[in-house]
Each structure stands twice: as C-alpha cells, then as structure tokens.
Amino acid sequence: MHVQHLTEDSQPSGNTGQTVAQTCFFVGVFFALLLLCNGVAMYQSAGHLEYGPARDFWRMVLRPVDRVSRLTGLCQVRGWTQTTVGEWLNQPNKE
Amino acid sequence: MLFPTTVFALFFAIVFSLHWGLERMPRLRKGVLLGASLFFYGYWSWKFALMLFASAVLNHAAACWIDRTAELRARRRGVAVAVAANLLVLGIFKYTGFLFTKLLVPLAVPLCARFGTTEQLITLQEQVLPVIEKIVLPVGISFYTFQALSYVADVYWRKTPVAASVLDFANYLAFFPQLVAGPIVRAADLLPQMGRFPDRSVRLDTGRAATLILGGLFKKMVVANWLAQHLADPVFAMPETYGAADLLLGVYAYALQIYCDFSAYSDIAIGCALLLGFHFPINFHAPYFAVTLQEFWRRWHISLSTWLRDYLYIPLGGSRGSAARTRVNLLLTFLLGGLWHGAGWTFVLWGAFHGLYLSLERVARRLMGLPEKPSENPGRLWALLGRVWIFHVVCFSWILFRSSSLPVAGELLRGLCRWEGDCRLLTGRALLVLGIGFALQLLDGMRPRPVWDRVNRWPAWLQGSVAAVILTLILGAGPSGVAPFIYFQF
C-alpha cells in the first residue's frame, strides 16, 4: 500500500474493458434479472405504501413482475437469503 | 434520492440509456445529464435544485470575470467576493443556528445579566429562534460549495482554464453520483471530461464499476446498517446504561460503521460514474491500516483532506514557516475541517483533537529522527503497533464526532474509564460483522485490479446475471428499511 498511489485512477489493463454496446447489454441483463429476482418483494413493499394513486400505480406495474417472478421461481433466491442469513443476522439483541 | 432504492435504480437506468443513446447529439446529451442531476437533487426539494443551479451560474460568471481580468488587484477582489459569497451562503444555511444558540447567546447571557437587559435578550431569542428553525440545510451543500470554491480559486491561480460553457460547469458541479456526499472532485479532473463526453470508442471498466457498486451496497446495506442498528446507535443514545466493554464495542462499531457507510457512498458514486464513462479519483484507501495519524488523513476522505491541504493549509503558509507557525496552520486547518463536518462543539473539538495530535506527531517524529513519510518500512512490529495505536486514537476522536453533545461524550468516556458493568452486546454475530467491516478495507484502492480485469473478460450477460444475483443476496441479507448515509447531514 504505497501512499503516493492513493489518488491514482486506473484504466483496465490491456484491452479488457467492455465496449459501450456490451455495457448496455450488461446493464440490461442486470436490471431484468434483478427485477425478476426481487419482483415478489417489490410487489409486497408497494403494498406497504400509503393508500393513494402512487400505491395503485406501483401495484399495477409490479403485479405482472410478481407473477413472472413466482412462475420462474427466481423469487426463491431472495426468499431463501431472507429466511436464512437475513433472519439470523438481523434478529434483535437479547437484552 | 438515496442510492440503495428502487427509485434510484429506475432513475439510473433511464439516465444510462439516454446518456449512451444520445451520443450523436452532444449538446442535448449534456443538457440531459444536467437535467438528470438537477432532478436527482430536486427529488429532495426543487428549491435545493434551484439553489444549486444558481450557484453554478454565479460561480461560472465569477470565474469568467476573474479569467478575463488582467489586473492582479481586481482579480484578487473578484476571487475574494466569490469566496465570501459562497461561504456566506454556506454559513447562513449551516451555521446560523450554531452561531446564535451556541455562541452568541451563551456569551450574551452574563453581559445582559450585568447590564439588566436579560428580558430584551429573551425577547430577541423568541423572535430569532423561530426564523432559525425554518432554515433547512440543503443536502450536500458543503460538498458542492467546496467544489465551486476550488474551481474559482484554480481559475484565479491559473491552474485550470475556465469552463467552455456554463453547461459544462453546471454538469461538473451538479454531477449526480458525487453531488450529495462526494468525492469532492477537482475541476482539473472532471471539467475536461464534462467538456468532451465519452464516446462509443471508449472501453468501460464494467468489472470495476460492478464490484464498486455491489461492494458499496454490501458495505452500506448489510455492514454499516447492522453495526448502527445493533451496536453504535444504542450505545451512543444512552451510554449510561451500558458497561465499559459494551461502550468500547459501540465505539469500534461506529468506527467501522462510518467507514463502511461513507466509503460505500464514494464507491457507488465512482462505480456509477464509470458506467457513464467518467473517472473519479479514489476517496478511501484502507484508512485503519494507517501507522500514523498523518497517514490516516492520506487514506481517509482523501478528496477532503487534499482539498483542505491545497486550499487552506498551503495558502495559510503550510510548513514553509517556523515549526510553531506550521503547528498553528495545522490546528486552524483541522478546526475548520471539523466545523465543515457540522455546526457543533463536538465537531470543533474533533477537529482540534486531530490538529493537535498531528502537531504533536510531527514534533515526536522529528525528535525521534523518524522519516517524514511514515509508511517507509517502519518494521513489521512497529507497523502493527502503530496501526493498533492509531486505530484507537481515531476511535477516541469518533466519540467526539458521533456524540450528540459534549455531556454525552463525557458520559461515554467516564463509562470507559470506570471499566465496570456487564457485557451484553458481544455476540458471535457482532464479532463477525465487525470483522467483515474491518476486512472490507482490503478491497480499497487499486488492490482488486486483477479481479476487475478478470470480470471484464466475462461476457456481458454473465456479468449482468452474477451482479443481479449478488445484489439480490445483499438485499435479502440486509436489515429492512433504508437508512440515509451519515455524510448526507454534512
């Protein structure tokens, strides 16, 4: 850890960086899969919003995502993490 | 708009698409980026966005005038007016309450009692306090004010050319990834990038961007939030109810919480900027591995410490004068650095502590004949001892920084000194999260370059899939709810 390099920025070595088109594809896949893995949780949290047009809008938008998420089983990733690691880690302090 | 939210994810997806989709329309592309940044900021309040835009226009106008003016005295007057105006705005929003309630009133009370005008003072307080309470501190004002100040000063010193247009400068000042909590990027670094936006010929470091964003989200959503919720917040809220071991655990937890919280913001900001083709310098580099406090400040919030060095410490004279003068300069720089963090005596004392310790460290190193740069092979044992010592020195200073008031800090320190009471907070989970928080420093800086390069070689679909699954795991493991970043309040 050399102090003199602390503020240096670095470029990917050689030609290993992704092109803009590849990056767009990467971001697209990321958001699509993220939506499918978290569709159920997002739909549930939209249900916790205050009653009103915003809640109705988000529930309407997220309902199909919720269905696809359940259908593909991708919601299991988050559900499993929550019920294992999440619940163990976030249990309240015993006082 | 907070980074770890659905709204930000949606916002970023739209901005990313427009930014690369409008590549052939450079002026529109710049306008869209500025509009997005103002929308991001205006999501808190449209008044904040207006203020930011006004700051951009006025600072750019001042810089243009300074640049055009040949006469030195007039230039000096120009820069003085611009600096004073920026500091005045910052002062009104950030320090009015502190100056009135913590400085003027306590000073006026004995005087009024002596001259029999206490009633007038109470009436004045009744009139002024409601006005002060209405002042809302715009999020991130300290950060963008410092960026604007550095730009005006650099133009005055002819270190950086004036921005080609107000649009370029506004994009530099308001660029949404770093707008609210830094890094404080210098005009010389970011302004040229705002002048010529990246085109499709660039290769983007997606491996680094994804690692920084996901690492940042893990630091913030899992580690920092857990440490705050389970250890630091309860201990600092009621230190009198905890034993010394719990208090110590709470202080360690806060040290790692603030590191994970703040460096997470910087990492996410750097990662988001990278995906848009912009480069920021790093802001953290394993700060708790520092052997001296001087080295700590070269590793912690690097953009602020270098800012204070270049625009305050060096203009004050730096280390060019006598040893005594250098110590005064250090103390002044850190006092103001403390005050920059927040309007309160705890922050002033925190700054004073760092300034004094750094002065003493300089004297001690000189007396012991040690090299100026502390990391130059101090020997393994000395390095280890130095790291442990400096970590505890910094932890001590965090007590001042985190405590809501001086009596709370005093209570916590008294509890630590008494060293009694039982230990209720020490659990396996606490040790695990503390250990992870400390170890995450190993990912700072350029150390993970080989990992980024390897990820860069993966096909885009694999990168996207792995990133989405990792983020889902982070979301599942973290506590529910979204806590704001600590540095938003500064």
Q: Is A52 on the interface with B (CB under 8 A)?
A: no
Among B297, B445, B450, B280, smallest CA distance to B361 is for B297
**Count of structural domains within chain B:** 2
Within an 8 Å CB–CB cutoff, is residue A75 touching chain B?
Answer: no
Chain B interface includes A54 (CB < 8 A): no
**Is the Cβ of A73 closer than 8 Å to some Cβ of chain B?**
no
The predicted model scores a pTM of 0.89
Residue A18 resides in a domain: no
Q: Report whether pLDDT(B260) > 50.
A: yes
For chain B, what is the mean pLDDT? 88
Which pLDDT belongs to residue B179?
A: 85
pLDDT digits (tens, 9 = 90+) for B153-177: 999 999 999 999 999 999 999 999 9
Q: Does A57 touch chain B (CB under 8 A)?
A: no
Q: Closest chain A residue to B464 measured between Cα atoms?
A: A30
φ/ψ region of B445 (left if φ > 0, alpha if ψ in -120 to 50, else beta) reads left
Residue with tokens 């590793």: B299
Helix (H, G, I), strand (E, B) or coil at A55: helix
Chain B residues in contact with A38 by the CB 8 A cut-off are: 472, 475
Query: Which residues of chain B have a CB within 8 Å of the CB of A5?
Result: 445-446
**Confidence tier at A1 by pLDDT (50, 70, 90):** very low
pLDDT at B381 over 70: yes
Residues B288 and B188 placed together within one structural domain of the fold: no
Q: Which of A2, A15, A27, A31 should one mutate to test binding to chain B, selecting the residue with the greatest count of B CBs within 10 A?
A: A27
Is ipTM beyond 0.90?
Answer: no
Which residue among B17, B464, B472 places its CB closest to the CB of A78? B472
Top-confidence residue, A35 or B423 = A35
Tell me the residue range of the domain where A46 lies.
40-88
Structurally, chain A folds into a number of domains equal to 1
Question: Are B142 and B229 within one domain?
Answer: no
Residue B301: active-site member = no
* 3-state secondary structure at position B63: helix
pLDDT at B457 over 90: no
Q: Answer yes or no: do B126 and B225 share one domain.
A: no
A81–B477: do the CB atoms touch at under 8 Å? yes
Query: Does residue A75 contact residue A34 with C-beta atoms inside 8 Å?
Result: no
The helix or strand, by DSSP H or E, that contains position B95, with its residue range, turns out to be helix B72-97
- Domain final residue pick, B162, B195, B228: B195
Kindly tell me if the per-residue pLDDT of B432 is higher than 70.
yes
Nearby residues of B186 by Cβ (< 8 Å), 6 or more positions away: B147, B150, B154, B160, B307
Separation of alpha carbons A60 and B376, rounded Å: 61
Q: Is the pLDDT of residue B324 over 50?
A: yes
Tell me: pLDDT of B472 over 90. Answer: yes
Q: What is the DSSP string of B142-154?
A: HHHHHHHHHHHHH
User: In this structure, are B85 and B155 located in the same domain?
Assistant: yes
d(CA B357, CA B465): 48
B301 and B161 in a common domain: no
Mutation target for A interface from B203, B424, B480: give the one with most A CBs within 10 A: B203
Query: Mean pLDDT throughout B415-420?
Result: 86
Q: How far is A94 from chain B (nearest CA, A)?
A: 8
User: What range defines the domain where residue B45 resides?
Assistant: 6-195
User: What value does the mean pLDDT take over residues B393-416?
Assistant: 91
Q: Give the pLDDT score at A6.
A: 39
Q: Find the helix or strand (DSSP H, E) in which B166 lies.
A: helix B166-174
Are B213 and B355 members of one domain?
Answer: yes
Chains A and B form CB pairs within 8 A to the count of 170
Indicate the pLDDT class of residue A68, thresholds 50, 70 and 90: very high
pLDDT at B103: 81
Q: Do B223 and B152 share a structural domain?
A: no
Q: What is the mean pLDDT of residues B122-141?
A: 82
Task: Compare B370 and B63 and report the one with higher pLDDT.
Answer: B63
What confidence score (pLDDT) does residue B371 get?
67
Read off the pLDDT band of B272 (50, 70, 90): very high
Do B214 and B389 touch, CB atoms closer than 8 A? Answer: no
- Active site residue: B19, B60, B341, B354, which one? B341
Q: In a 3-state reduction of DSSP, which class is residue B204?
A: strand
A82 touches chain B (CB under 8 A): yes
- Which residues contact residue B192 at a Cβ distance below 8 angstroms, ignoring those fewer than 6 apart? none
* CB contacts, 8 Å: B477 with chain A: 81-82, 85-86, 89
What number of other Cβ atoms are within 10 A of residue A92's Cβ? 7
Which of 145-204 (B) contact A at CB < 8 A?
Answer: 200, 202-204
CA distances from B398 to A8, B255, B460 (A): 28, 7, 42
